[in-house]
Amino acid sequence: MIDVGTSKEYYQPPPPSRDGLAIASMTLGIVAVSLLLIPVVSQICGILAIAFAGSAFKTTRHTLMVRWGLALGIVSVAWAVFWILLIVLTGLSLMSV
């Protein structure tokens, strides 16, 4: 007779995934770029995407998700800063007239 119960001895579960920060970074980067017309929300999501990407660089391998999260976060923060500066400078120039 064949003993079927011994196959569990050789089974090893896969290691836990450590890509949670990378996924969060990429997701927040996508949300930030999607909401570029709302500068404050976009800037908050972009800053969080950059922070999570920085943490993911330290804890996981440098995956494509981490790089995209960082890049999208930087783009969204730069775009939001540009629009906030444009609004402030336009308001200041209209006040001086």
Q: How many CB atoms lie within 10 A of CB 39?
A: 20
Q: Identify which has the larger pLDDT, 10 or 70.
A: 70
Nearby residues of 47 by Cβ (< 8 Å), 6 or more positions away:
73, 77
- Scanning the structure block, which residue is given the tokens 């949300």? 31
* CA 11 from centre of chain: 35
Tell me if 33 sits within 8 A of 76, measured CB to CB: yes
In this predicted structure, the answer to whether residue 8 has a pLDDT above a threshold of 70 is no
Q: What is the pLDDT of residue 91?
A: 86
How much is the pTM? 0.74
Longest dimension (CA), the chain: 97
